[in-house]
């Protein structure tokens, strides 16, 4: 049942992930393109745990548009190796997709949206180094975006197993847009599954996300589920109840029914 409830709540998040292929670089209200940015404000939302000192995020500088200040873009025509597990049809599709994105980049190597797309396709064929390189170029060119930092954070977490860098990139995403819920959920998963599991950070990051986004039912359900898994039923009840209130306000009847069933199961 708990797995089902997270699937229901996470639908909006999945829409965001699926939309990467058509994501427009300047469509996010919190994003500032490199050509118009001068500085990034200091973080007023440090990510911290009750068992450790607050961690301040130092935003990356925005590269200059003149002279040698711009970082060189990654090599566009790098060699491609498709895993043997791909069928002939799958291989043909992914190679065509990669070439289509590369055409865009040959026409405009500064097309940051295309670099995001190319990184996703590289990750699909398990070329994690190429994906990392593409996304880190985007981060250098636009330090105020959120997509590249989330992508790199997850890449470092699940594929490259570099949890320090995963945390650093996901925190930067939180700093860049405290209203983007996926960043909190990704950090929660990092702390819950892999990193600093002897601290309270897995709960702390969700609590801080809820403080910034009081109607974030996704975060409330994730926190209730986490507390329940730890046997902390009192706090689990609290966040299930908060989630029910918000889901009711949103008129999400299916979610309300599911949440009430979860709450009843622990009472």
pLDDT at residue number 265:
94
Full pLDDT tens readout for the chain, 267 residues = 544 444 344 433 333 333 333 232 233 322 222 222 222 322 222 332 333 333 344 454 444 444 456 778 999 999 999 999 999 999 999 999 999 999 999 999 999 999 999 999 999 999 999 999 999 999 999 999 999 999 999 999 999 999 999 999 999 999 999 999 999 999 999 999 999 999 999 999 999 999 999 999 999 999 999 999 999 999 999 999 999 999 999 999 999 999 999 999 998
pLDDT at residue number 46:
30
Strand partners, 47: 55
pLDDT at residue number 1:
52
- The answer to whether the beta carbons of residues 151 and 135 sit under 8 Å apart is yes
pLDDT at residue number 123:
97
- The answer to whether the beta carbons of residues 61 and 34 sit under 8 Å apart is no
Question: What are the distances in angstroms from CA 183 to CA 45, 57, 64, 84, 206?
Answer: 13, 14, 27, 33, 10
Question: What are the distances in angstroms from CA 106 to CA 1, 34, 114, 136, 137?
Answer: 49, 20, 10, 19, 16
User: Torsions phi, psi of 249, nearest 5?
Assistant: -60, -35
Among the listed residues 179, 219, 205, 139, the one whose alpha carbon sits nearest the alpha carbon of residue 28: 179
* Torsion sign across C-alpha atoms 145, 74, 151, 50: negative
Helices (H), the chain: 2-9, 11-18, 88-107, 112-124, 128-141, 147-154, 163-176, 181-193, 201-212, 217-229, 233-249, 253-266
């Amino acid at each position: 049942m708990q797995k089902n409830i997270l699937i229901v709540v996470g639908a909006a998040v999945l829409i965001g992930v699926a939309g990467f292929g058509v994501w427009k670089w300047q469509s996010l209200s919190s994003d500032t393109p490199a050509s118009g940015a001068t500085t990034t404000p200091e973080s007023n939302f440090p990510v911290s745990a009750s068992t450790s000192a607050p961690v301040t995020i130092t935003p990356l500088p925005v590269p200059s548009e003149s002279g040698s200040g711009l970082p060189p873009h990654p090599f566009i025509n790098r060699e491609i190796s498709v895993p043997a597990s791909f069928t002939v049809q799958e291989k043909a599709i992914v190679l065509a997709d990669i070439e289509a994105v590369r055409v865009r980049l040959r026409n405009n190597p500064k097309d940051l949206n295309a670099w995001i797309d190319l990184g996703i396709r590289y990750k699909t064929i398990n070329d994690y180094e190429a994906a990392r390189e593409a996304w880190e170029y985007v981060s250098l060119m636009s330090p105020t975006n959120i997509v590249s930092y989330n992508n790199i954070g997850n890449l470092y977490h699940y594929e490259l197993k570099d949890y320090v860098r995963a945390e650093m990139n996901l925190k930067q995403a939180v700093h860049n847009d405290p209203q983007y819920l996926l960043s909190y959920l990704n950090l929660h998963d990092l702390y819950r599954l892999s990193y600093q599991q002897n601290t309270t950070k897995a709960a702390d990051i969700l609590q801080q996300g809820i403080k910034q986004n009081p109607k974030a039912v996704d975060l409330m359900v994730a926190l209730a589920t986490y507390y329940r898994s730890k046997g902390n039923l009192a706090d689990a009840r609290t966040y299930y109840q908060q989630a029910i209130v918000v889901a009711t306000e949103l008129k999400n009847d299916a979610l309300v029914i599911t949440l009430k069933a979860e709450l009843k199961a622990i009472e």
